[in-house]
Amino acid sequence: MKNYILSFALLSTTLIAVNSASAQEHRPVSDQAKGAIVGGAAGAVAGGLIGHNVKGALIGTAIGAGGGYIVGDAIRRKKLKKRQAYLRAHPVHHYAASKTTVKPKSVTTTTVTKTTNY
């Protein structure tokens, strides 16, 4: 029972720290950080259950966070490849929003009228 309480306390402390840090910075959490957080929490729970002590929970946290970071980095790279492939396939749409046409001030416009003699 003590291990369950310890694992729950570690998990809730980690989640509170992540929420408060992300709320202060107003930036989204990276995929690597998400993976490390989830992996560390899962590793803490698994290590506490398997090892039946705090040492097992700490080792599980370290291994889970490392594995989660690696998985998160793989997800980030996959998203980056997809985005680069999209930009290569659709180059016009990428630059269309940034181009603006401005009429020069020095150019005067003239109208041509067609006259017919009856």
Residue 112: inside a domain, yes or no? no
Residue 108: inside a domain, yes or no? no
Counting the structural domains of the chain, the total is 1
Q: Containing domain of residue 52, as a range?
A: 2-96
Flag whether pLDDT at 36 surpasses 80.
yes
Residue 117: inside a domain, yes or no? no
Dihedral over Cα of 73, 74, 78, 81: its sign: positive
Residue 103: inside a domain, yes or no? no
Total-model pTM: 0.55
Quickly state the pLDDT bin for 52 (edges 50, 70, 90): confident
Residue pair 64/44 in contact (Cβ under 8 Å)? The answer is yes
Residue 115: inside a domain, yes or no? no
Q: What is the spatial distance between Cα 10 and Cα 12, in angstroms, rounded to a whole number?
A: 6
Q: What is the spatial distance between Cα 95 and Cα 5, in angstroms, rounded to a whole number?
A: 54
Quickly state the pLDDT bin for 112 (edges 50, 70, 90): low
Instruction: Kindly report, residue by residue over 2-11, the tens digit of the pLDDT.
Output: 677 767 766 6
Residue 91: inside a domain, yes or no? yes
Dihedral over Cα of 12, 18, 21, 22: its sign: negative
Flag whether pLDDT at 110 surpasses 80.
no
Residue 90: the pLDDT is 81
